[in-house]
Structure 1
């Protein structure tokens, strides 16, 4: 169980921390100092690297989370905070899957074709999904840590 919990926490930190960095730190700076072609190309390359880590995080979170639930005796034996974590976590996964297979794929094609207006539209959609997922991720982290006390 300690290994599963450690992997679960590391995966959450990588995913949520990466979104926080991209959304709150990189995005405002890149928007100010780079022209659209450079900014959109940067985001396309950044996502190609970050999303590999998100895929690893998603698989790790699902496998380790369900593994720990099984070790604790199943869903009937875990606290409400675990049920809430599953809901918010699977919402995050669903949003990521949509982001990855729809606007991100269109962003890559638009950047490859130098269609900067279309690329900007796709990046804006990604920004919204990342913002929602970041909020869900922060809620999930707080719930994971404080949930046992909140729902006691």
Structure 2
């Protein structure tokens, strides 16, 4: 039974990381450039707001799954016995969660308000702030993966 629980915890942790990190890579390097290339602001900004809204709801679930599974796995081993990479992963993950909370709880709402009001320059400015913070979180996400891999070495 314990090995099944461990499997489910690790699977949940990895699935959450894949959804979050993979989604950021897709949004930043595929969706945003394509939308910018083919759509004018009155079409592009509502599309991005809708796409990000769907993605952010998935990320919110992923963050809860990541934190819960990560803490559970860490407590099974014990903080003192956990590899340094796990401690780094925890710190990076918590920082990422704070940044995501700011994006989703503040900037995304501002984006939706600007889009609903058809204030395209304001919406574009907020979307750019989101883009920068997503890039920060994506970088942190790759550092968290490196920390996890270092714990196995």
Q: Same fold (TM over 0.5)?
A: yes
2:64 corresponds to: 59
Aligned partner of 2:82 in structure 1 is 78
Partner of 1:8: 13
Among 19, 28, 31, the residue aligned to 1:26: 31
- Aligned positions, number: 148
Please point out which of 119, 122, 144 is paired with 1:118: 122
Shift of 1:148: 3.5
User: What is the TM-score when the length of structure 2 is the normalising length?
Assistant: 0.94
Cα-Cα RMSD = 0.9
Unaligned runs of 5+ in 1: none
- 1:135 aligns with 139
Distance 1:85 1:30 in 2: 33
Structure 1 CA distance, aligned partners of 2:120 and 2:62? 30
Q: What is the rounded CA distance, in whole Å, between the counterparts of 1:50 and 1:122 in structure 2?
A: 17
Work out the CA distance in 2 between the residues paired with 1:78 and 1:147. Answer: 9
Structure-1-length-normalised TM-score: 0.94
Moved >2 Å (runs of 4+)? 146-149
User: 2:96 and 2:139 mapped to 1: Cα distance?
Assistant: 10
**Cα deviation 1:71-116 (Å, max 9, x = unaligned):** 11x2111010001001110110011011111111100000011111
Partner in structure 2 of residue 48 of structure 1: 53
Q: Distance in 2 between matches of 1:66 and 1:144?
A: 14
Quote how far apart the aligned CAs of 1:26 are. 1.1
SS at match of 1:123: helix
CA positional deviation for 1:34: 0.4
